[in-house]
Structures are given as C-alpha cells and as structure tokens.
Amino acid sequence: MSCLSWSSLTVLAGVLSVRVAAWNSTYYNPVIPGFHPDPSCIFVPEEDNTFFCASSSFNAFPGIPIHASKDLMHWRLISNVLNRPEQLPTLAITNGSTSGIWGSAIRYREGTFYVLTTLVFDDQPETNNSRWDNMVFTSVDPYASGAWSQPVHFNFTGYDTSPFWDADGTVYVTGSHPWEVTPGITQTTLDLATGAVGAGYQYVWNGTGGEAPEGPHIYPRDGYYYLMIAEGGTGLNHMETIARARAVGGPYEANPANPILTNANTSEYFQTVGHADLFQDAEGSWWGVALSTRSGPEYTVFPMGRETVLFPVTWEEGEWPVLQPVRGEMSGWQLPPTNVDVPGEGPFTNEPDYLTFSPGSTLPIHLVHWRLPINASYTVSPPGYPNTLRLLPSKLNLTAYDGNYAGPGGQTLIARRQMDTLFTYGVNMDFAPGAEEEEAGVTVFLTQNHHIDLGMVLLPYTNASTNMTVLTPCFRFRSASYIAVPPTTVTPVPTAWLDRTLHWEIKAFNITHYSFAAGPADAYSQMQTFGYGLAADVSWGFTGTLVGIYATSNGGEGTAPAYFSEWTYVGQGQYRD
C-alpha cells in the first residue's frame, strides 16, 4: 500500500484549487425534473451547439422523450422517439409497472441521431431471452417526432444497450447482461442499419462487485477506452464506477478511486445517484448527467421518482475523470450564455400548462397515456363541444385487472408529468353518468398499483333521512398503493352542483400531501376539499407521478363521455435540500 507525501498533497491541492477557481457558475438540480430517469446526453456542434438528452419512459406513451438545450439550464421537450403505435405495438401488452422502455442511449454520427433502447417484459424470467427486445431508432431531424424511424430490432440478451464507433468505423454495442443470471457488461458488433450482430458476445467487465452492473457507456480518450457503468441497483446503494483499457474489448482496469459518483451512505436529500453519461461543451469542459431521487436517505417520499441531474466533471489528460457529487445547489464550469432559441414541438420544462383544446388543435406532446391509447377515446373539440377534450370510458379503471396488466383494450387516461414539488393542477369537467359505476375525474398516477383519484361516479346511495337507496352522482376519493392508504370516502354531489360544469383541482401543498378538491366552475368560493393523498403512497419503483384525467365504466357497460376543458398546471416551488 502506498501513500501520498505532504508535498504531493500540496501539489494536488494546488491543482484542484486552480480547477475550482474556474468554476464560476451556480445552478440548481434537477435540470430536467420529474419522471425523466436513466438520462443519456450528447453535445452536437453541428446542430448549433445544442445539447440533447434522452430518458427512459417505461409504459408511458408517447415514450423516450428527447430534450434539447443550448445553455444546459433551459431544456425543451423537442420530440418523442416513440410516438406512433405501429412503431412498437407490443407496448400495449406489457405486464407489470416496471416493464416497458428501459434505459435509452442517444448518440450522433455524421448527420444522424441514434437512440438504442430495450422494451423489457419484466414479468418474464431473466433466463427467457424474449424478455429483452433491443432496438435502434434513427432520425436526421430530432425536433420532429414524426421523423423518428421505425425501430430496427437486434438480438442482445440484456438491456441498457449503448453504441460506440471505433476509429475504423466498426460499431460496438455494449450492454448489461441479466445480472440475476450472470452479472456483467457484454459487448458485440452491431450493424445499425440491419440489426445484424456479431457472431459472439464477450464479457468486458463485471464491475467492482456491486449489484446489477448496468448502464454502460464507452468514451475514447488519450489512447484509452473508458467504460463507465452503474452498480448497486437503482436504490440507495446506486453508484457509478469506471474502468479503462487499451482495446475496446478489454482487458479493463478498474479505477482505484471507484465509485466515482454516489450519494450512498450520506444524509443528502438527493439520493440513488447513478446511471450516468458524460459529454463536453463547446469550450471543452466536461459535464455529466445522472438520475437521482429527491428522497433523503429515508427513501419514503419521492413521488417524482428518478429525475435528471447535472454535475461538472474534471478530466485531465491521461487521468481518470473526477465527478462532482450531486447536490441541489451546484457550482460548475462557466455555463453557455442563456439561450432559449431551441426549436421543437413541446414546452420547456419550467413552462406552465394553459390548454384550451381549441378546434383543429392536437394533443400536446408532453401529455402521455399508460401504454398505447385507443385513439377514438380522445377527441379534441368534438362536434357541439368546442374547446374541450372528450374522453370515452375504458372498461378497465386505473388499477385494471390486478394492478399490473391491462391488455390491448387500454385505459382511458391522459396526464402530464409532475415536475414541481409544489404545484396546482386544475381542469373543468362536464359529465353526466347514466349507469352504475360510470366514473370520470382527476388522478395523481404513478402506476396501476399506485395512484390517488377523485372522481364523480354513479353509485347506489342511501339517503339518511328517507332511508331510500337510489343511484346518485357522488364524489369518490380513493387510493391504491403497496403501503397504507387513507380510507375511501363517498360524498353525494350537492344537488345545486348537478348539471353544472365543475372545476377540479389537485394541489401539492407541501412535500408529503396532495389535496383533491372540486366545485362549480363559476363559483370557486364553493370549492370543497374531498380528500388528502399521501405522497408516500405514490413513491415507488422506476417511474414518477403523472397528473391528469381519466374515465372508466369500472367493468360495466356505461358509455357516457366526459368533457374536459381549461386544463392548467402551475409549478409553485421546488424542494432541493
């Protein structure tokens, strides 16, 4: 074992002080808040010095959102890679809340953008090769969803596949082998146009011994190939490690300073840091992105799930990269000048919603469904109902069959990501249920087995004064979760509110609770709160909370439409420590 001398430490401290002195910007994480896990980012000088990031989307559709920025601070949703049901029809039949689109890697080469990803059927055994459906999407115009190609599928046992072009033009794909079978990072060659893979796969590195080595990326630098991966699982032990080799296939030598990034075993608010990617800016400074949950080490309240965070990286010639620990407030390299001149189809991450569903408009690309939608169930400004969004009920409710499976019949749900710790979401609804259990309303939705709902539903209700039971429109507040939930409450809709447009509101008024309220849209003073939901009940798994609207017959034959209008979402604050 060797140690540094005091003179060596003095020199090292001097070098670090010079590097830190170059950090003259302060910014705040997360840079892409809400349900945006497993980030992969690149810098493309050919696209007017623009940064591009992809993230995983699991069962949400449209999926694989692409964000772009010119200053690293203002990120715009410019397109969704997965935007047409015919691109991936099997997304409709995934089983389980952790199934769907896992980690996606974005890269650029000679005018073309490439996104590699995996559709995972997480209910299947890891030994079943059909569990993993790997594919590559391409586009020459990342600002338009429709420009993303049909996928080219390729055979790879595992997930988190990432491409790398060697100096001779050979394309290698490096990915994560199912860790419960044989943990490690495997590699082969790949023809990106045809999906043809090499004759064999080789294990290139098994990591440092942490659970679930995954999320690999390769970076060529100073005569080395650097292989960076995540280990420890995507919970509190998550970390990033790195190795390097003189040949792309190894043998790889681990960095003695591993892990190079983690918040494990700390009291930091930002936890589960890992699944990172590195890139340079126009000045040559290195940056990194990773996922993180704002949960603290208690890891019980983190409804927005795994979000995208940014950190500066120091990478001296011939040395290992040094990644700065993730915090809510960061100091970093000089940021590019503020520039929001970013084309694209969607909003910036800090923009509020004011949606009117005007005639001739289409649904904004930041609104999502759970799996593939039944398009006929969503109509913008139908005849006789301008400036509304009509929902037709699905037979299945938000829990569906068992909290995991829904099948190709779909669930009528449309929502947006929660992107602020504190927010107010509002929408107007006209709904006249005519059959028992017909229901429409608002929801904070994480997965089929984790959601909080306030709906208007037609139920048998016994009048206490007359002792008669009749079908009555009621407000029903209820939750579903793996942990304890508040009791379901049922309250008759006041007679004076019937046949009127009602305003519905969800408010995250502190870090732990949501309030659910409703009342006449023309008399806000009469709004009543009908329930309080726990953020802990929607803090679980791989995804983050969605806020939106739904309609269901709850297994019955009801077909009554619900008409929604005046959709708003306003962020009102972020907790960062």
pLDDT at 6 over 70: no
Q: How many residues does the chain have?
A: 577
Residues 163 and 190: beta-carbon distance below 8 Å: yes
Confidence grade of residue 326 (pLDDT, cut at 50, 70, 90): very high
Residues whose CB falls within 8 Å of the CB of residue 549, separated by 6 or more in sequence, listed in order: 389, 391, 413, 414, 415, 427, 429, 440, 441, 442, 443, 562, 564
Q: What is the pLDDT of residue 466?
A: 84
Q: What is the rounded CA–CA span in Å between residue 287 and residue 315? A: 10
What band does 22 get if pLDDT is binned at 50, 70 and 90? Answer: low
Write out pLDDT tens, residues 268-294: 999 999 999 999 999 999 999 999 999
User: For residue 476, what are its two tokens?
Assistant: 């029903």
Q: Provide the pLDDT for residue 40.
A: 98
In our burial notation (b when 16+ CB lie closer than 10 A, e otherwise), range 375-390 reads eebbbbbeeebeebbb
Radius of gyration of the chain, Cα coordinates, nearest whole angstrom: 25
3-7, 303-307, 442-446, 565-569: the lowest-pLDDT one: 3-7
The mean of the pLDDT values for the chain is: 95
Q: Catalytic residue, from 47, 133, 214, 437: name it.
A: 214
Q: Which domains does the chain have, with CATH numbers?
A: 10-332 (2.115.10.20), 353-573 (2.60.120.200)
β-sheet with 50-54: strand ranges across = 40-44, 50-54, 63-69, 76-82
Q: Which of 13-27, 216-230, 505-519 has the lowest mean pLDDT?
A: 13-27
In percent, how much of the chain has pLDDT > 70?
96
Tell me what pLDDT residue 463 has: 83
**Given a cut of 70, is residue 469 above it in pLDDT?**
yes
DSSP class of residue 493 equals P
Task: Give the integer Cα–Cα distance in Å for 298 and 470.
Answer: 47
pLDDT interval class at 9 (50, 70, 90): very low
Residue 3 has pLDDT above 70, yes or no: no
Task: Report the pLDDT value the prediction gives residue 465, as an integer from 0 to 100.
Answer: 80
Lowest mean pLDDT of 20-24, 211-215, 297-301, 365-369, name the range.
Answer: 20-24
Q: What percent of the chain has pLDDT over 90?
A: 94
pLDDT of 261 higher than 80: yes
Compare 163 and 7 and report the one with higher pLDDT: 163
SS3 state at 487: coil
For the ranges 17-31, 75-89, 219-233, the lowest mean pLDDT is seen at 17-31
Contact call for residues 284 and 260 (beta carbons, < 8 A): no
- Catalytic-residue membership of 71: no
Give the pLDDT of residue 527: 98
The answer to whether residue 5 scores a pLDDT higher than 80 is no
Please give the average per-residue pLDDT across 129-148, as a whole number: 97
Q: Which of 263, 231, 225 is nearest to 243 (CA)?
A: 225
User: What is the tens place of the pLDDT at every residue in 150-196?
Assistant: 999 999 999 999 999 999 999 999 999 999 999 999 999 999 999 99
Please give the pLDDT value at position 192. Answer: 98
pLDDT at 13 exceeding the cut of 60: no
pLDDT of residue 23: 65
Mean pLDDT of the 77-84 span: 98
Q: Is 38 a catalytic residue?
A: yes
| Tens digits of residue pLDDT in 351-402 | 999 999 999 999 999 999 999 999 999 999 999 999 999 999 999 999 999 9
Q: Could you tell me the pLDDT band of residue 24, with boundaries at 50, 70 and 90?
A: confident
